[in-house]
Amino acid sequence: MQLRKYTSSMVTAALCTIAASSARRVAVSAFTSPSSARRVCRPLTSTNPNCINTCQPSTSLSVRPSSSSSSSSWASSLFSTTEEVDPGVVEGTDLRVLKYPHPALRAPNAEITEEELTGPGSEISRIAKEMFLVMYATNGAGLAAPQVGINKRLMVYNESGDSKRWMQEVIMVNPKIVEFSSATDIEQEGCLSFPEMGGDVQRSKWIKVEAQNLKGKKIKKKFTGWEARIFQHEYDHLDGVVYVDRLSEEGRKEVQGRLDELVEEFGEGGAL
């Protein structure tokens, strides 16, 4: 899946919100922007981020922007006219974003071996570079290898979504989440593998992760806010989990019609 920030249809309301209180981010992964108004939901008694369907309708929503973002930078992304797109052929790569219910989105993803990282040609390095090409071509902020038909535990992202800010690019090999915060928030997500739809997803506000870089060196990090959400969304793909699995019962009903359309468009052999 891929992650992105998207434009809001409630510009005036957003300005009022920014002026009156703290700004909030709206997130979407190889996220897409639904045209309908957001459904607001709150956590149920259980706050375990690994549980599916752990939110329900409510009249209010409390979410905060990541500590690394300001109200002005969030407003800038809010008013951007950039939308995630299906770029078709991307120069420099044969990789393409797969759409639900392609079986690769549900297939097991293998650990990347030391030989794949350090061997001649560094195959994983090439794949990661091409994944960034696809990610930027879709106006996305993150991408997991299964989304391009490579069932390996590999993800890439750039929280800015801007190819010119290449210093913010992150490549994670064999990542795993070792600790979740009990505190959660809810933001709207979508996915390029699920075009023209989206829904509210509950995630941990911070996570601690372990992974490897392209040289096989071990990495330990703590992510918060927007970056934590990107990571969790992409990490789900490595476990064969897609964002619609985490929608509430009501949220699932809202997108079921579109899911049925995608299944029909794909034809036989899909993995639901």
Map tokens 């993995």 to a residue.
271
Which of 198, 189, 199 is CA-nearest to residue 229? 189
Pick from 269, 266, 271, 255: nearest CA to 36:
255
CB-based burial label for 270 (10 Å; 0-12, 13-18, 19+): middle
Residue 84 to residue 225: CA distance in whole angstroms = 21
* Annotated catalytic residue 234: yes
Identify each DSSP E strand in 41-192 by its residue range. 41-43, 55-57, 142-144, 154-158, 169-180, 184-191
CA distances (Å), origin 60, targets 19, 87, 185, 186: 18, 37, 12, 11
Could you say which of 83, 234, 250, 261 is catalytic?
Answer: 234
Residues recognised as catalytic = 234
